[in-house]
Structure 1
Amino acid sequence: MSGRVVVVTGAGRGLGRAHALAFAARGARVVVNDIGTGLDGSGRSTGPAADVVAEIEAAGGQAVANGDDVADWAGARNLVDTAVREFGGLDVLVNNAGFLRDRMLVNLSEQEWDDVVRVHLKGHFAPLRHAAAYWRAEHKAGRPRAARVINTSSGAGLLGSVGQGNYSAAKAGIAGLTVVAAAELARYGVTVNAIAPAARTRMTEATFAETMSAPGAGFDAMAPENVSPLVVWLGGEESAGVTGRVFEVDGGRVSLARGWRHGPVRDKGARWEPEELGPVVAELLAEAPDPEPVYGT
């Protein structure tokens, strides 16, 4: 990663902090983005991002803090501009920022839906859009970069999660955005992948309150630092042949998720009548694997 310029959103704590430190430890120059809000969304502080920058600099690395709201169009553009202005370019974008507003659907408010979709889904799209414009311009100017995007989906986005309809929908949208961006940006030498991590952070500390045991003395399977090595590898030049993929990662486990695929089919060659379809659907279901269970069921 020596010399590469990396932006990590939501990098003041948790997974983002672990990613920023891991990239810096490998020689990357890092833009540490975080708006420093509380779990309830209140307040803003430069403290968390500044603290991570201080950690990186104390270890001999290079980093700058950025407090822009990644779901704000101008803020996302300024985040990309910060990397270019401070370090002369941008090579890796790690979209990580997010928060939770968990409710069962019958209790979920419009504001709680809008807030989660905005921060997660628009907060991925806006930085990606401005980074992609920069990389396209660089490519057209004869300065192509081995650029990488690592998005953050979730098991909730891949399989669903009871009580997290807003979060599951946003994270599923991120997985869909990832495969489209990978197809569209390949012409510029940009790869786009996503991770679905499980780790103990402010968002998940209630879920992962107890340290999970795993092989190896003293190994904390839910430490956020376990996720970062894959993110760093995906951000390097060696990962050039990998794009449009979603990896699940937690503890010492890495797996490749398989998304929606074409399955069994029946083709009548004409329009079906409703009364004909019961047996057809039964045959299709019998030939297809059962779906993975939704988390929480």
Structure 2
Amino acid sequence: MSSLNGTQALVAGGAVRNLPAIRALVDAGARVVIQAQTPEETKTAHQVAADLGSQVQVTTRPVATFADAEELVAAIVEEHGSVDALVTPVAPDDAPSLVDLDEESWTDYKSAYVTRAVALTRAASAVMAGQDTGGRIVVLNSASTFVAPGAAQSAANAALLSLSSAASAGLRDTSVRVNGLLLGVPGAYQGGVPAPTGEVDMFGPTVAWLAGEESEGVNGKFVYVGGSDVGFYSMPMVMQNANVQVRFDGEADSATVGQFLNNLVDIGKVQRQA
């Protein structure tokens, strides 16, 4: 199991989909602050905190601007001493189609997911870059970015693809690592193979691995998780199929995920001989 003992994580968005990630971070030893700003997020976040105990705190401080994000990150650092991991909010699947999208809906959607993710990534990375231990940022996204019927969701997710790629490149000379995590839909087809519909969900263990030291060599990657399937995309802008993936038949922890993904990280890289 990846050990995150003594680390501080910030998970933006208390949506039900984030529960496995929050639980996995806590199980690995991290303290977690959940940033919730909608009524649904707030309700779910408080339920999670009550269930998981003192390692989880909830803040309802909204993030709509860069200043909001800076103040939130600064408050966490003041109370806990650091911000070691950030998980950005994932856009929900219930966005309207293009013909049904009005300007107000788009503005609200963009603010809640794109602006919040950009602002938090900016604020957290600035703090992490100054820490001896650096930090890890996991930008959540959807594997259906380019095929989703909701125009707002597709536009938001496309922006976040670019965010994770650009942020990782800009922070390459620091000890901050940024990766995109694209969520598949259990039961949908991935790589020509039907995704499983069972109870195994590798989302939590994968987040915990990306947030830990074991993923040190992983930066600027696009990881796929759909039910029990985990893999890498060969090219960030091709989101129909994960290029290489493995299906887990039973429960697994972050160390198991890391063992698989670490073996794929160097595939395709130029190997330099002395």
Normalised-by-shorter TM-score class? 0.7 to 0.9
Aligned to 2:34: 32
Q: 1:242 aligns with which of 218, 223, 229?
A: 218
CA shift for structure 1 position 82: 3.1
- The amino acid that maps onto 2:60 is G
Q: Deviations over 1:214-242 (max 9, x none)?
A: 49xxx325xxx531110110000010111
In 2, distance between residues paired with 1:291 and 1:3? 35
User: What is the aligned length?
Assistant: 231
Q: 1:49 aligns with which of 42, 45, 52?
A: 45
Task: Compute the TM-score of the two structures, normalised by the length of structure 1.
Answer: 0.70
Counterparts of 1:154-165 in structure 2, within 5 Å, are 154-157=142-145, 159-161=146-148, 163-165=149-151
Checking the alignment, whether the CA contact within 8 Å between 2:91 and 2:141 is kept in structure 1 is: no
In 2, distance between residues paired with 1:196 and 1:3? 27
Aligned to 2:66: 73
CA shift for structure 1 position 199: 5.3
Q: Deviations over 1:90-149 (max 9, x none)?
A: 11001025345533322321122222222221111000111122123x2xxxx4223100
Aligned to 2:158: 172
Counterparts of 1:69-108 in structure 2, within 5 Å, are 69-100=62-93, 102-108=95-101
In 1, distance between residues paired with 2:87 and 2:206? 12
Q: Deviations over 1:136-177 (max 9, x none)?
A: 3x2xxxx422310000111232x332x211110110110111
Aligned to 1:193: 179
Checking the alignment, whether the CA contact within 8 Å between 1:213 and 1:220 is kept in structure 2 is: no
Checking the alignment, whether the CA contact within 8 Å between 1:156 and 1:167 is kept in structure 2 is: no
CA shift for structure 1 position 22: 1.2
Task: Compute the TM-score of the two structures, normalised by the length of structure 2.
Answer: 0.75
In 2, distance between residues paired with 1:250 and 1:186? 28
Aligned to 1:257: 233
In 1, distance between residues paired with 2:84 and 2:157? 24
Checking the alignment, whether the CA contact within 8 Å between 1:32 and 1:52 is kept in structure 2 is: no
Q: Deviations over 1:34-88 (max 9, x none)?
A: 12424xxxxxx8443222222221xxx5222111223333332232123212211
- The amino acid that maps onto 1:20 is I
* RMSD over equivalenced CA pairs, Å: 2.6
Q: Which has the higher strand share?
A: 2
* Percent of aligned pairs sharing the same letter: 27
Q: Secondary structure at the match of 2:171?
A: helix
Q: Secondary structure at the match of 1:186?
A: coil
Aligned to 2:209: 233
Cα–Cα, structure 1 residues 147 and 174, in superposed 2: closer, same or farther, change >3 Å? Answer: same
Q: Secondary structure at the match of 1:194?
A: strand
Aligned to 2:11: 8
In 1, distance between residues paired with 2:239 and 2:111? 29
Asked which structure has the greater CA Rg, the reply is: 1
Q: Secondary structure at the match of 2:89?
A: coil
In 1, distance between residues paired with 2:172 and 2:222? 16
- The amino acid that maps onto 1:34 is A
